[in-house]
Amino acid sequence: MVPQLLTLLRSRPRARSRALMVLSPNCPAVENLEERTLLTAAVTSAPTLAILNGNFTGSYSGQISVNNNGTVTKSAVASTAFSMAISNGAITFTTPVGNGTGTVTVGRAISGTVEAPYQSTTVPVTVTGNITNVNAVQTYASGKWTFSVNLGGGVTATGSGTWTASAPQILSNFDGNYAGTYQGTITTNTNGSISTTPVSPGTFMAAISNGVITTAFPSGSGLTAVSGSINVTGRVNSTATFVEDGVTITVTASGPTSRGLTGVNGTGNWSFKANLPGGVFVTGTGTYTLESILVLDGSYAGTAVGNVTENDNGTITNNPIPGSLLSNNTVDVTISNGTVTFSAPGVPATGTGTIDFDGNITGTATFTDNTVTVTITLAGTGMPTASGNVLNGTWTIPSTDVGGGVTISGSGTWSATPVTAV
């Protein structure tokens, strides 16, 4: 995150003209970055699947009831150890009675099935639960298990109980995309004449993968990014360099980062000191913040369903979608750098919108009916899942006069999943 801080550090008087040139809106690299990072001013941490990763150990207990042709026998299931591993939303269960798989959503809901061999059959045990706590020490989960099976010969069995499990924090819990802010002050001592200049609040982007931090900042700024690091406790250490008056200056940043049920956030400090030619000594200090975000860039394909109502001079016709009015109900969605492009080729309708760092989508699309432009209002949410990102939303056509005493309106839902490259 440090390099993005430095863009304003170059604004001390003797370098001000060069810094202003670097930050000029006419610089395409800076302009493209700011279109995305300006959204971070009001960002709060977004939950990710990575924060739920872990190798869990726990126990389950409960009761089993067997009905053998009317004779019911109940037996307790004593506390029994088991384990489960979570990796980016995918769960594997390992128990003494059998193994299984499941998923956990970004909303922390757990669901899965353990296949328990019994005599000549397999009993599917349904497992449900939630991640209930996430902190710097551990991830904690709890839930229930149930099964009901007909074993044949007039014998049925049911079972139910509870389970708990926890996992220590691991390095991959911090994997993902981040947005942040920074501010501070620069002090310049020119042969005993001291001046202090504030570093106005700014924004930056970062990505963390397996403990390595990579930052994004405007190209052409003269800054050199040096990948930082984060350890398993969440401690960030990062450096970057820039050249001023022929001197390479190193900026260091460090601070804690922590997980919670709502995502990852961090705070820290940055600083540098340098002797420049001509008896100039310059120092800089400041703070930064860091918040996990959702970046869902990519191409998606899906469908829209719902109903369009036509009022033809008092005659009301409800047209289900898909149906005779619109048989091709496919939708295509592209997300890139905060911009969303919509297309419904069967209508045909096209439009654009935006997506924020929490995955909230808003936008509009239009089509022409009898030379009248009809607007479709679109809203939705994107979220990561164990099998890939998923978009879900709603569409609405407000009552629109298309001429000849005819009005149309409609509403429904849409969904899309990533397009698989061939």
Can you give the residue ranges of every domain in the chain?
2-46+173-293, 54-168, 298-418
Please report, rounded to a whole number, the percentage of residues in the chain having pLDDT higher than 90. Answer: 77
Q: Which residues contact 201 (CB under 8 A, 6 or more apart)?
A: 181, 182, 183
Among 21-30, 46-55, 91-100, 133-142, where is mean pLDDT lowest? Answer: 21-30
Confidence of residue 417 (pLDDT cuts 50, 70, 90): very high
- Please, which pLDDT band fits residue 271 given cuts at 50, 70 and 90? very high
Q: What is the pLDDT of residue 90?
A: 97
Residue 1 amino acid letter: M
Read off the pLDDT of each residue in 222-234 and give the average, rounded to a whole number: 84
Distances from the Cα of 376 to the Cαs of 197, 354, 362, 408, in angstroms? Answer: 49, 15, 11, 11
Residue 64 has pLDDT above 50, yes or no: yes
Of the pLDDT bands very low, low, confident and very high (cuts 50, 70, 90), residue 220 is low
CATH number of 298-418: 2.40.160.90
Q: What is the pLDDT of residue 120?
A: 78
Per-residue burial over 67-89, b if 16 or more Cβ lie within 10 Å, else e, is: eeeeeeeeeeeeeeebebebeeb
Which residue type, as a one-letter code, is found at position 241? T
Class of the CATH domain delimited by 54-168: mainly beta
Q: Any idea which of 87-91, 109-113, 123-127, 248-252 has the lowest mean pLDDT?
A: 248-252
Residue 126: phi, psi to the nearest 5?
-80, 130
pLDDT at 117: 87
Element (H, E) at 410: strand 406-418
Phi-psi label, residue 25: left if phi above 0, alpha if psi -120 to 50, beta otherwise:
alpha
Query: pLDDT: is 351 or 21 the higher one?
Result: 351
Q: Average pLDDT, whole number, for the chain? A: 87
Question: Over 90: is that where the pLDDT of 196 sits?
Answer: yes
Residue 40 pLDDT class (50, 70, 90 cuts): very low
* Token output for 171: 């390095």
Per-position b or e across 330-358, b if 16+ CB within 10 A of its CB: ebbbbbeebebbbbbebbebebebebbbb
Question: Lowest-confidence range among 135-149, 160-174, 192-206, 373-387?
Answer: 192-206
Q: The domain 2-46+173-293 is classified under which CATH number: 3.40.50, 1.10.10, 2.40.160, 1.10.8?
A: 2.40.160
Higher pLDDT, 77 or 38: 77
Q: Which of 210-224, 289-303, 348-362 has the lowest mean pLDDT?
A: 210-224
Q: Give the pLDDT band of residue 289 (cuts 50, 70, 90).
A: very high
- How much is the average pLDDT of 138-155? 95
Q: How high is the pLDDT of residue 226?
A: 78
Q: What is the pLDDT of residue 204?
A: 84
What pLDDT sits at residue 241? 83
pLDDT at residue number 7: 38
Distances (CA, A) of 249 to 48, 201, 242, 348: 35, 21, 5, 56
Given a cut of 70, whether residue 14 has pLDDT beyond it is: no
pLDDT (0 to 100) of residue 43: 58
Please tell me the least confidently modeled range out of 15-19, 32-36, 132-136, 386-390: 15-19
Residue that is written with structure tokens 């289900």 in the block = 320
Please say if the pLDDT value at position 162 is more than 50: yes
What local confidence, expressed as pLDDT, does residue 216 receive?
A: 78
What is the pTM (predicted TM-score) of this model? 0.82
In tens, the pLDDT along 378-412 reads 999 999 999 999 999 999 999 999 999 999 999 99
Task: Flag whether pLDDT at 288 surpasses 50.
Answer: yes
Asked if residue 23 lies in contact with residue 7, where contact means CB atoms within 8 angstroms, the answer is: yes
pLDDT at residue number 221: 57
* Nearby residues of 105 by Cβ (< 8 Å), 6 or more positions away: 89, 383, 385
Q: Do 54-168 and 298-418 fold alike per CATH?
A: yes
For the segment 318-338, the average pLDDT, to the nearest whole number, is 95
